[in-house]
Amino acid sequence: MMAKKKPFSEVEKLFADKGYILLSKEENYKNTGTKLEYICPNHTDKGVLEMNTRNISQGKGCRFCGHESSSKKQNEDIKTVKKAFEKVGLILLEEKYRNSDQKLQCFCEYHPDKEIFKSYKVVKNGHGCEYCGFEKLRIINKKFSNESDFEVIKKEYLEKGFILEENNYTNNSTPMKCRCVNHPDEIQMVRYADLNRKRYGCKYCTYEKKSKSQRLPFDRVKETFEDRGFTIDEDEVYQNNTKPLKCFCHKHPDKPLFISYGNMSQGYHSCKYCWDERRRGETSPLWKNGITNISNYLRECITDWKINSIKNCDFKCVVTGGKFDVIHHLTPHSIIVREAHKNLGIEIRPIIGAYSNRELKSLIKETEVLHNKYGYGVCLKSSIHTLFHRTYGYKDNTPDQFYEFKEKYINGDYEEEHVV
């Protein structure tokens, strides 16, 4: 929706507050998107500029003033730049500084015959005269080419927090085995040339330092759990948002759960015991005022059995080896439901509304037990499942029937239009 048109008096005030000279008249102003002509007193050499009311209302202004402000923020004072060059042993010869990428001519007192050009960005990162660097490397390589001087290298590694595991030194660019004194179980490969680099050290110490700096306060983690109905065990220590923490649901304080802060904060986890209660009896989404068939109701309460059946079939149709659509009961679900009723001494009723909550809970538990007793189901493509029942019917099928069907299918005994 287009912003409401401002009175021209307000428009004049907006430009005046910025110090601009508005040239456009009221008859030129149609709406907030109309470009109006003005002059910036700081850039009269740029002539007449244009800007609409919407932009100036949002705090925008002369683009040339913006460029200068941005450049000023990015650029360091020339004195600061000179100090940075002096810190790495260079003398800056330039008096004008544009930005950190500009290559500036400088002078090294040890190499007065060499022309050196360095940007402030490079110097600020600790890089000095490259010719001094080359000489230092030659000295290092020469100094430690003899095995008698190897103890000096070991000492330098130890000063950086490493225990050297090598007995021979090749050159400063050869990675050498060492262990951090804080992480002796981890072998690291560190070059002698890297050892003296600025801020170089054990990568595991770096991970821990970064993790510690970014880690949330434990009180905030506890508060998040409490807000979602959980209490963290008092002996738990918070390390990061992926490590599961031992906690207890307020409604089930005797049953421990393990949930990470990441999952809890994103709402990806809830109490499984509360979920079990919600899916049973009148609180179940299948209740539908008690008119759901008991067989269909119990079929939706065997999630663990379904998951285990899928895993047992390696997530594939056991006949075709391709994708599957359904899980077939080798021992029919109807037989299991009848047996569960018989074992509990409960008569079969037409709708779940005719059962008490206690009876439904008992039936769910007994159904799960019987499913585990008769073994996992088999994953099938829907067309294969339909073909099986078309061949053997839908009542009281047996495991032997399925294995016979599978063998016939693989042997090509079915008509071509049935083969998928």
In a domain, 104, yes or no: yes
Domain end (from 276, 297, 321): 276
What is the rounded distance in angstroms from the CA atom of residue 69 to the CA atom of residue 39? Answer: 18
Note whether 226 and 248 are same-domain residues: yes
Note whether 156 and 170 are same-domain residues: yes
The secondary structure of residue 330, as a DSSP letter, is S
Domain end (from 155, 187, 208): 208
φ/ψ of 408, rounded to 5, equals -65, -40
In a domain, 138, yes or no: no
Number of structural domains in the chain: 5
What is the rounded distance in angstroms from the CA atom of residue 342 to the CA atom of residue 273? Answer: 27
Note whether 408 and 300 are same-domain residues: yes
What is the rounded distance in angstroms from the CA atom of residue 82 to the CA atom of residue 298? Answer: 80
pLDDT at 253: 86
pLDDT at 243: 85
Note whether 63 and 176 are same-domain residues: no
In a domain, 333, yes or no: yes
In a domain, 213, yes or no: no
DSSP assignment of 225-285 equals HHHTTEEE-TT-----TTSEEEEEETTEEEEEEEEEHHHHHHT----HHHHHHHTSGGGST
Per-residue b or e along 338-371, where b marks 16 or more CB atoms closer than 10 Å to that residue's CB: ebbbeeeebeeeeebeebeeebbbbbbebbbebb
What is the rounded distance in angstroms from the CA atom of residue 327 to the CA atom of residue 20? Answer: 75
In a domain, 3, yes or no: no
- Name which of 25, 35, 29, 36 is nearest 5 in CA terms: 29
Note whether 405 and 293 are same-domain residues: yes
Token pair recorded at residue 146: 């003899």
Note whether 49 and 83 are same-domain residues: no
Note whether 382 and 405 are same-domain residues: yes
In a domain, 116, yes or no: yes
Cα–chain-centroid distance for residue 264?
Answer: 14
If you average pLDDT over every residue of the chain, what do you get? 82
In a domain, 101, yes or no: yes
138-159: pLDDT as tens digits = 655 555 545 556 777 888 888 8
165-224: pLDDT as tens digits = 887 777 777 888 999 988 888 888 888 777 766 556 788 888 878 777 767 788 888 888
Cα–chain-centroid distance for residue 35?
Answer: 44
pLDDT at 1: 43
Kindly list the distances between the CA atom of residue 141 and the CA atoms of 127, 164, 201, 356, in Å, as whole numbers in the listed order. Answer: 20, 18, 21, 87
Note whether 378 and 301 are same-domain residues: yes
Note whether 381 and 352 are same-domain residues: yes
Token pair recorded at residue 250: 């307020």
Q: Which parts of the chain sit beneath pLDDT 70?
A: 1-4, 70-76, 137-149, 196-200, 214, 268-269, 277-292, 415-420
Domain end (from 184, 208, 232): 208
Note whether 117 and 203 are same-domain residues: no
Note whether 299 and 394 are same-domain residues: yes
Note whether 291 and 398 are same-domain residues: yes
pLDDT at 206: 82
φ/ψ of 105, rounded to 5, equals -75, 135
* Structural domain containing residue 56: 8-71
